Chain A
Amino acid sequence: GAGVSQSPSNKVTEKGKDVELRCDPISGHTALYWYRQSLGQGLEFLIYFQGNSAPDKSGLPSDRFSAERTGGSVSTLTIQRTQQEDSAVYLCASSPTSPLTRETQYFGPGTRLLVL
């Protein structure tokens, strides 16, 4: 069946521009997560959605980062006024219900963002 998909797969932008990253989770999955992975670093948690609400957005690094989820499905991560340190791979994951189960997270292929 279809897995988690993300678009675009690659994005090159200029410093100061806004970017929007999209995630389509596995159909029926209520939990959705955004992570960031920089070169040589672990996955850094950004935000978690349960349905359309975000119970935990503690990982968003600054107010330039925001995310929304509509219809309990698609999510978009928006980075305003991008900076070079925002360059990273942005990974989206989904899971069937909530984080407090043994169920695994299913990851998308990521969006590779390069800010020049």
Chain B
Amino acid sequence: GQNIDQPTEMTATEGAIVQINCTYQTSGFNGLFWYQQHAGEAPTFLSYNVLDGLEEKGRFSSFLSRSKGYSYLLLKELQMKDSASYLCAVRGKPASGGSYIPTFGRGTSLIVHP
């Protein structure tokens, strides 16, 4: 199975940069996802990493180090609308009879204040 750890809550100022970390232990590795979830809404896809390095997409970037079992989501030029929960999900080698369904962390609640 997989074990995923991310901070429960973070606060940041509008216009600043924030880094949300995710560490994981998995018996195999087949990709890591980041999702954004606003309160009362469905999670929406942000990024996917399967190889080491940085993936940049506009104001959001995601980094992966497979050897360290570590990823981070970097949000630049923070806006008030970025206040949301950010979910890290890891797809590992499934247990016998299982499938490649990602396992989600508990999410990091980001509060952006003026």
Contact = CB atoms under 8 A, between A and B. Distances in A.
Contacts of A56: 94, 97-99, 101
A71 interface: no
A91 B97 CA distance: 23
Interface string B58-81: 000000000000000000000000
Contacts of A99: 91, 99-102
B111 interface: no
B50 A43 contact: no
Given A40-B106, A42-B105, A55 B99 contact: yes
Given A42-B104, A42-B105, A100-B30, A105 B45 contact: yes
Interface of B: 4, 30-31, 33, 41-45, 48, 50, 87, 89, 91, 94-95, 97-107
A96 interface: no
Given A102-B48, A109-B41, A42 B99 contact: no
18 contacts: A33-B101, A35-B104, A42-B105, A42-B107, A43-B104, A45-B103, A48-B101, A56-B97, A58-B95, A98-B100, A99-B91, A99-B101, A100-B30, A104-B45, A104-B48, A105-B45, A107-B43, A109-B42
Contacts of B87: 42-43
A30 B31 CA distance: 20
A110 interface: yes
Interface in A65-116: 91, 98-100, 102, 104-110
A40 B94 CA distance: 25
Nearest to B33: A104
Contacts of B107: 42
A41 interface: yes
Nearest to A4: B42
A61 B91 CA distance: 21
Which of A48, A91, A98, A104 has the most CB atoms of chain B within a 10 A radius of its CB? A104
A107 B42 contact: yes
A56 B48 CA distance: 23
B102 to A, nearest CB: 8
